[in-house]
Amino acid sequence: MEYRRITGATGLAALASLAFSAAAWSASVEISAHSKAPFGTYLTDSAGRTVYMFTADKNGTSDCKGSCTKPWQPVLTTGTPKAGNGRESGALSTIKRGNAEQVTYDGRPLYYFIRDKPANSTAGEGITHFGGSWYVVSPSGKGILPDGKVLAAGSS
């Protein structure tokens, strides 16, 4: 068996791409809801993985690129995202992300946090990293602050 050393920015980018895509890809993502204090109801996938929004994202475009995608994995799909557990299917869509489709909710790109274990973990809540803050997402499509209050309109 032959082993090769991965060097250079291109090789590292390819390796990072494989790392996040293997964990974040799903044939068809289903977005559901879960409730826990202090957040109230927030969005998860059907396996209970919490999804997050990023305040640096603007106009439905993901600003999380490169090294950002290692801890904050885009929720990717090869199929149409589905609404589960009473969610509005009209709020779900996708945006183009390279050769993939990233799931959006109410126009906001969605992400997983790599340190969220087990299901319904919210370890990424309220972190400021990569030029913005990360929040769990309410069923209305707004971020929920660590104290359970919903971000004000216009607060990204």
> In angstroms, rounded to a whole number, what is the distance separating the alpha carbons of residues 129 and 127?
6
pLDDT over threshold 50, residue 90? yes
pLDDT of residue 154: 54
Q: For the chain, what is the mean pLDDT?
A: 83
Please compute the mean of the pLDDT values over residues 24-44 and round it to a whole number. Answer: 86
> In angstroms, rounded to a whole number, what is the distance separating the alpha carbons of residues 45 and 125?
16
Cβ atoms of 130 and 56 closer than 8 Å: yes
Q: Which of 29, 15, 19 is nearest to 76 (CA)?
A: 29
- For residue range 55-78, what is the model confidence (pLDDT) as tens digits? 999 999 999 999 999 999 999 998
pLDDT of residue 27: 73
**Prediction pTM value:** 0.81
pLDDT of residue 16: 41
